[in-house]
């Protein structure tokens, strides 16, 4: 083991499994309480080890081994570490395993919002954070997006806004959020979960013991009848506390609030995300007119249906964060105007099922430019579309530029993870942006 030698294994109280961003936040959390800990990780990056040494110079670091885990009193598991790992599997039903979000919920003193869903989480948390800053005191944003939640804890914060992933919910069965939000569900992370239903069940844990909820009417769920529920949807509805659509307008209880052409945010699918942010605000009794002004000025986040450029009548959109088929479907449907989308897709499939792509978005795709490990799978899933497989994003984007006509959209929405050709989705999106910017020069 690196660092100080592990002596007297039975004396180990705290073990951190995984030294990513969350693992480092566990280290800061424990060090602030003068509690010693051991860190286990099979592939420690040098930059993260340096950060750990700044927190605790003498912390022991070693590979993930069962003998250390078996004697630990508390095991702090990073979200990226599967609970099905053999050395952890025997402990998942015991109270020795801790996740950062559940730990946060047990400690936090101020109200907090917890947002999950297959897609759109970051957009909603950022938008509601911006809304809340106009109407309350100090607001802290983080979780799966941005700052790890344990690093946010402070007596100065009046309201916390958290994005929560399915991985985090695996150890957060009693989160008790003041407002819980499940935006949408589509199959994802099937390389980690045994089935689509297992993944969905994990997501539903967001509602456990919540004090109020935002519910998508397209998702069937059963909640405590004593809590207040506000619903959202892409359908028409005019009941009390129901956000809905009427044409291209967002409504509340049947009254029009704003129209899509008043927004800076791109894509029709984002109308649901806006509804969710407004619904959270409604549950906090925020002023609606002030919320709408923030919504109108919100242009979105990088790599999420992000407008990059308009060149020769062609619109270029970066949706590199679209790492599953559901996100791809939402982005294509949101950006399309009949059959005018040049879709760049592919990467690592994460065992995703692409079978419904032809039926759901085939009518919008003018041509598909496929890259990465999943390119052959996507090619097979789009039998009625003009498709070609490319060695990488630069070649695909160059061809898309040459083929696209005025009025078309060149959309990077991979429907896959990025780590076959890029370090992460942000690097993939930045590559797309840089190439498009060179087109302009």
DSSP 155-221: TT-SEEEEE--HHHHTT-TT---SEEEE-------TTTSSSHHHHHHHHHGGGTT-SEEEEETTS--
Buried b (16+ CB within 10 A) or exposed e, 120-150: bbbbbbbbbbbbbeebeeebbbbbbbbebbb
In CATH, which superfamily holds the domain spanning 102-297?
Mur-like, catalytic domain (3.40.1190.10)
Give me the count of residues in the chain: 441
> CB-side exposure of 228: number of CA atoms within 13 Å?
12
Active site includes 144? yes
Per cent of the chain over pLDDT 90 is: 91
Active site includes 174? no
**What is the band of 236 on the pLDDT scale with cuts at 50, 70, 90?**
very high
> With contact defined as beta carbons under 8 Å apart, do 3 and 21 qualify?
no
Tell me the C-alpha distance between 73 and 16, whole Å. Answer: 11
**What is the band of 93 on the pLDDT scale with cuts at 50, 70, 90?**
low
Structure token pair of residue 136? 């309350």
What one-character DSSP code corresponds to residue 242?
B
> With contact defined as beta carbons under 8 Å apart, do 69 and 37 qualify?
no
Structure confidence at residue 115 (pLDDT): 98
Tell me which H or E stretch contains 225: none
Question: Over 50: is that where the pLDDT of 1 sits?
Answer: no
Question: Over 60: is that where the pLDDT of 2 sits?
Answer: no
pTM for this structure? 0.91
Q: At what angle do helices 21-32 and 46-55 cross, to 10 degrees?
A: 10
Active site includes 121? yes
Give the chain's mean pLDDT: 95
Write the pLDDT tens digit of every residue in 15-53.
999 999 999 999 999 999 999 999 999 999 999 999 999
Structure confidence at residue 12 (pLDDT): 80
Catalytic residue among 14, 119, 144, 340: 144
* Cβ within 8 Å of residue 27, ≥6 positions away: 16, 37, 39, 52, 55, 56, 59
In CATH, which superfamily holds the domain spanning 9-98?
NAD(P)-binding Rossmann-like Domain (3.40.50.720)
Domain spans of the chain, in order of start: 9-98, 102-297, 306-440
Write the pLDDT tens digit of every residue in 195-219.
999 999 999 999 999 999 999 999 9
Tell me the C-alpha distance between 289 and 235, whole Å. Answer: 23
Catalytic residue among 189, 203, 269, 303: 189
> With contact defined as beta carbons under 8 Å apart, do 415 and 378 qualify?
yes
Catalytic residue among 14, 74, 119, 121: 121
Tell me the C-alpha distance between 408 and 341, whole Å. Answer: 6
In CATH, which superfamily holds the domain spanning 306-440?
Mur ligase, C-terminal domain (3.90.190.20)
Structure confidence at residue 11 (pLDDT): 59
Tell me the C-alpha distance between 402 and 380, whole Å. Answer: 24
């Amino acid at each position: 083991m690196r660092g100080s030698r592990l002596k007297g294994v039975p004396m180990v109280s705290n073990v951190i499994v995984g030294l990513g961003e969350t693992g480092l936040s566990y280290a800061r959390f424990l060090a602030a309480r003068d509690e010693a800990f051991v860190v286990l990780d099979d592939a420690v990056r040098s930059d993260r080890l340096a950060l750990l040494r700044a927190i605790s110079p003498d912390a022991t670091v070693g590979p993930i081994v069962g003998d250390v885990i078996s004697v630990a009193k508390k095991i702090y598991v990073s979200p990226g570490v599967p609970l099905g790992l053999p050395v952890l599997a025997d402990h998942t039903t015991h109270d020795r395993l801790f996740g950062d979000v559940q730990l946060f919920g047990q400690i936090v003193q101020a109200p907090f919002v917890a947002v999950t869903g297959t897609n759109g989480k970051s957009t909603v948390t950022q938008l509601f954070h911006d809304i809340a800053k106009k109407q309350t005191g100090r607001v802290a944003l983080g979780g799966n997006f941005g700052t790890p939640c344990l690093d946010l804890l402070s007596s100065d914060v009046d309201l916390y806004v958290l994005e929560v992933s399915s991985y985090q919910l695996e150890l957060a069965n009693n989160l008790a959020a003041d407002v819980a939000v499940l935006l949408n569900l589509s199959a994802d992370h099937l390389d980690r979960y045994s089935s689509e239903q297992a993944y969905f069940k994990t997501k539903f844990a967001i509602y456990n013991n919540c004090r109020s909820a935002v519910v998508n009417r397209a998702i069937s769920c059963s909640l405590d009848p004593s809590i207040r529920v506000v619903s959202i949807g892409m359908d028409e509805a005019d009941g009390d506390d129901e956000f809905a659509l009427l044409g291209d307008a967002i409504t509340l209880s049947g009254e029009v609030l704003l129209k899509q052409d008043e927004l800076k945010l791109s894509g029709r699918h984002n109308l649901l995300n806006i509804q969710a942010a407004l619904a959270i605000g409604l549950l906090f009794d925020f002023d609606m007119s002030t919320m709408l002004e923030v919504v109108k000025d919100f242009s979105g986040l990088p790599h999420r249906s992000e407008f990059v450029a308009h060149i020769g009548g062609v619109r270029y959109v970066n949706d590199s964060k679209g790492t599953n088929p559901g996100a791809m479907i939402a982005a294509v449907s949101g950006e399309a105007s009949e059959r005018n989308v040049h879709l760049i897709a592919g990467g690592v499939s994460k065992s995703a099922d692409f079978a419904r792509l032809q039926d759901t978005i085939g009518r919008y795709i003018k041509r598909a430019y496929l890259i990465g490990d999943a390119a052959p799978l996507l090619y097979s899933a789009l039998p009625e579309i003009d498709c070609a497989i490319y060695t990488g994003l630069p070649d695909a984007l160059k061809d898309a530029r040459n083929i696209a006509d005025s009025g078309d959209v060149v959309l990077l929405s991979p429907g896959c993870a990025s780590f076959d050709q890029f370090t992460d989705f942000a690097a993939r999106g930045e590559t797309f942006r840089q190439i498009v910017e060179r087109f302009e020069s």
